[in-house]
């Protein structure tokens, strides 16, 4: 697949612009293994880069103009790099142009422009961060072509700046960190307070395990209001406990929290406190015992999101329970909730039975047909 996309992106560039690109760079999407709604509480997350990638074929121009195009859309967007702003760009081109803008803001863009063409097999809007994949593929390309000399962790900030300032989405830094720092069969354990990260051996391939993504194709219903109210509950909980953020609370504070808080706020707080601990426990279990030992933690995470944080939906619960019943080591919903995808860590020999069973169960319950596919933990952004 990867080789096909590499050929396609080069051919697409040449057909559109009439000459060959200087190089091809790529960056993966990501999935969050565990650590949900912990990021804005300055806690821990543990995503990994996946075997679905976005490829950028790029060449420099000497006139300061950027031209961007994608197999995903028929328009070719052309603008002087110096004129990129929130007002002048919109739609999908805001992602690649936003990256060029962010490098310029950081004083890292020389005045040359570029021609760029994008190809990708990261599904859009499935919770696998096609947005980080496009940002990071462009970030590593321009970092090299413009001699910006930034390190991968700085490029994560470049992607985030682009998304916050030019796209206008108030997102954190997890997605870009995973896309840039991922390694083959490793996860990226990220501390959302100081943004330090550690690459951790997952051992899935070695242990004969694969990760199944079960995309319910339910769009994130009521996600906006639900997200805002969860954030507000976390802030109220932290204030009542007298801590800067829930990162600073632990299981020892739960009894006090239960006395101080109303039932709903207490359960929101309990999710975050226990989820942070589960991320730490997952890292420890992987290091001490290997990936088969994390199954129970994945399911506990799901139960906590279902019962305490109340962000699951019937389709996600069905995906998780069915996968577990048919031999998954562990399973949970992943992402912000109210729709999107579940993940199931599965022995390779059980993959087809689990996939078939989930699909049959969805059909029996009258749900939309889910999109089910395997991902492995892949290397981060690089030049091809
Ligand atoms: P996701 O969960 O996939 O990151 P987002 O809404 O954050 O969803 O980002 C998806 C957007 O990113 C798309 O609507 C599009 O604007 C842009 N995008 C992603 N992949 C591509 C691509 N291959 N070509 C052009 N734009 C893309
Ligand atoms: Mg995104």
Domain that holds residue 355: 209-375
CATH number, domain with residue 342: 3.30.70.890
Q: Kindly report the average pLDDT of the chain as a whole number.
A: 95
Q: Does any ligand 1 atom lie closer than 6 A to the CB of residue 70?
A: yes
In DSSP notation, 304-331 reads: IIIIIS----HHHHHHHHHHHHTT-SEE
C-alpha Rg value of the chain to the nearest Å: 21
Residues 353 and 303 in one domain: yes
Q: Tell me the three state secondary structure of residue 367.
A: coil
What does the alpha-carbon distance between residue 342 and residue 312 come to, in Å, rounded to a whole number? 10
Flag whether pLDDT at 222 surpasses 70: no
Select from 8, 96, 127, 134 the residue to mutate for testing ligand 1; criterion: most ligand atoms less than 8 Å from CB: 134
Q: Does any ligand 1 atom lie closer than 6 A to the CB of residue 54?
A: yes
Residues 28 and 102 in one domain: yes
What does the alpha-carbon distance between residue 273 and residue 275 come to, in Å, rounded to a whole number? 6
Neighbouring residues of the ion ligand 2, judged by CB less than 5 Å? 129, 131
Least confident of 210-224, 321-335, 336-350: 210-224
| pLDDT tens profile 115-149 | 999 999 999 878 899 999 999 999 999 999 999 99
Cα 289 to middle of ligand 1, angstroms: 37
Classify residue 381: in a domain, yes or no. Answer: no
Flag whether pLDDT at 314 surpasses 80: yes
Contact 202, 48 (CB under 8 A): yes
Contact 341, 216 (CB under 8 A): yes
What does the alpha-carbon distance between residue 326 and residue 147 come to, in Å, rounded to a whole number? 51
CA 91 to ligand 1: nearest atom: 16
Classify residue 383: in a domain, yes or no. Answer: no
- Which residues does residue 118 pair with via DSSP β-bridges, in sequence order? 56, 70
| pLDDT tens profile 248-294 | 999 999 999 999 999 999 999 999 999 999 999 999 999 999 999 99
Cα 347 to middle of ligand 1, angstroms: 31
Using the 3D structure, point to which of 179, 201, 223 is the last residue of a domain.
Answer: 201
Using the 3D structure, point to which of 166, 201, 236 is the last residue of a domain.
Answer: 201
Q: Does any ligand 1 atom lie closer than 6 A to the CB of residue 304?
A: no
State the angle between helix axes of 314-325 and 351-364 in degrees (0 to 180), rounded to the nearest 10: 140
For the entire predicted model, the pTM comes to: 0.94
* CA-closest candidate to residue 133, choices 162, 103, 104: 162
Cα 42 to middle of ligand 1, angstroms: 26
Q: For residue 377, what is the DSSP state? A: B
Residue 2 has what pLDDT?
73
Flag whether pLDDT at 192 surpasses 80: yes
Domain count, the chain: 2
Q: What is the mean pLDDT of residues 291-316?
A: 98
Considering only CA atoms, which residue is closest to atom 6 of ligand 1?
125
Classify residue 380: in a domain, yes or no. Answer: no
Residue 1 has what pLDDT?
63
Q: What is the mean pLDDT of residues 79-92?
A: 96
Q: Respond yes or no: is residue 3 known to be catalytic.
A: no
Residues 323 and 285 in one domain: yes
Q: Does any ligand 1 atom lie closer than 6 A to the CB of residue 127?
A: yes
Select from 74, 124, 132 the residue to mutate for testing ligand 1; criterion: most ligand atoms less than 8 Å from CB: 124
Residues with Cβ < 8 Å from 60, sequence gap 6 or more? 22, 112, 113, 114, 145
Q: Which of 115, 175, 215, 308 is catalytic?
A: 175
The residue with greater pLDDT, 110 or 297, is: 297
* CA-closest candidate to residue 312, choices 322, 323, 301: 301
Flag whether pLDDT at 221 surpasses 90: no
- In the chain, the N- to C-terminal Cα span, in Å, equals 14
CATH number, domain with residue 72: 3.30.230.10
Residue 111 has what pLDDT?
67
Classify residue 101: in a domain, yes or no. Answer: yes
Residue 184 has what pLDDT?
97
- 65-70 and 113-120 as β-strands: parallel, antiparallel, unpaired? parallel
Flag whether pLDDT at 302 surpasses 80: yes
Residues 367 and 230 in one domain: yes
Considering only CA atoms, which residue is closest to atom 15 of ligand 1?
92
Contact 22, 59 (CB under 8 A): yes
Considering only CA atoms, which residue is closest to atom 4 of ligand 1?
129
In DSSP notation, 54-113 reads: EEEEEEEESSSEEEEEETT-S--EEEEGGG--TTT--GGGHHHHHHHHHHHHTT---S-E
Residue 108 has what pLDDT?
78
Q: Does any ligand 1 atom lie closer than 6 A to the CB of residue 131?
A: yes
What does the alpha-carbon distance between residue 105 and residue 335 come to, in Å, rounded to a whole number? 30
Cα 252 to middle of ligand 2, angstroms: 35
Using the 3D structure, point to which of 171, 201, 231 is the last residue of a domain.
Answer: 201
What does the alpha-carbon distance between residue 176 and residue 163 come to, in Å, rounded to a whole number? 10
Least confident of 38-52, 91-105, 107-121, 319-333: 107-121
- Which residues does residue 56 pair with via DSSP β-bridges, in sequence order? 25, 118
């Amino acid at each position: 697949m990867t080789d096909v996309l590499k050929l396609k992106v080069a051919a697409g560039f040449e057909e559109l612009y009439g000459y060959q690109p200087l190089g091809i760079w790529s960056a993966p999407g990501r999935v969050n293994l565990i650590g949900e709604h912990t990021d804005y509480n300055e806690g821990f997350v543990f995503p990994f880069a996946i075997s679905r990638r976005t490829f950028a074929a790029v060449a420099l121009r000497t006139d300061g103009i950027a031209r961007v195009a994608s197999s995903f859309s028929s328009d070719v967007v052309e603008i002087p790099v110096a004129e990129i702003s929130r007002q002048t760009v919109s739609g999908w081109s805001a992602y690649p142009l936003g990256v060029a803008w962010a490098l310029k803001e950081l004083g890292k863009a020389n005045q040359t422009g570029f021609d760029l063409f994008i190809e990708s097999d990261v599904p859009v809007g499935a919770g696998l961060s096609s947005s980080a994949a496009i940002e990071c593929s462009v970030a590593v390309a321009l970092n090299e072509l413009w001699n910006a000399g930034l390190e991968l962790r700085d490029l994560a900030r470049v992607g985030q700046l682009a998304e916050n300032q030019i796209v206008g989405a108030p997102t954190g830094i997890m997605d870009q960190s995973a896309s840039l720092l991922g390694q083959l069969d490793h996860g990226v354990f990220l501390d959302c307070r100081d943004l330090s990260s550690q690459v951790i051996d997952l051992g899935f391939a070695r242990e004969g395990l694969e990760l199944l993504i079960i995309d319910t194709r339910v769009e994130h219903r009521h996600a906006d209001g639900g997200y805002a109210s969860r954030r507000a509950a976390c802030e109220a909980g932290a204030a009542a406990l007298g801590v800067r953020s829930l990162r600073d609370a632990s299981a020892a504070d739960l009894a006090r929290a239960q006395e101080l808080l109303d039932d709903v706020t207490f359960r929101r707080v309990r999710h975050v406190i226990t989820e942070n601990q589960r991320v730490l426990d997952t890292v420890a279990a992987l290091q001490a015992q290997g990936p088969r030992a994390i199954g129970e933690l994945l399911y506990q995470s799901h139960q906590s999101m279902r019962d305490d944080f109340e962000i699951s939906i019937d389709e996600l619960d069905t995906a998780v329970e069915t996968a577990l019943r048919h031999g998954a080591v562990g399973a949970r919903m992943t992402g912000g909730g109210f729709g999107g995808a579940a993940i199931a860590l599965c022995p390779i020999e059980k993959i087809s039975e689990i996939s078939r069973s989930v699909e049959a169960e969805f059909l029996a319950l009258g749900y939309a047909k889910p999109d089910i596919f395997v991902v492995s933990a892949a290397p981060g952004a690089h030049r091809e």
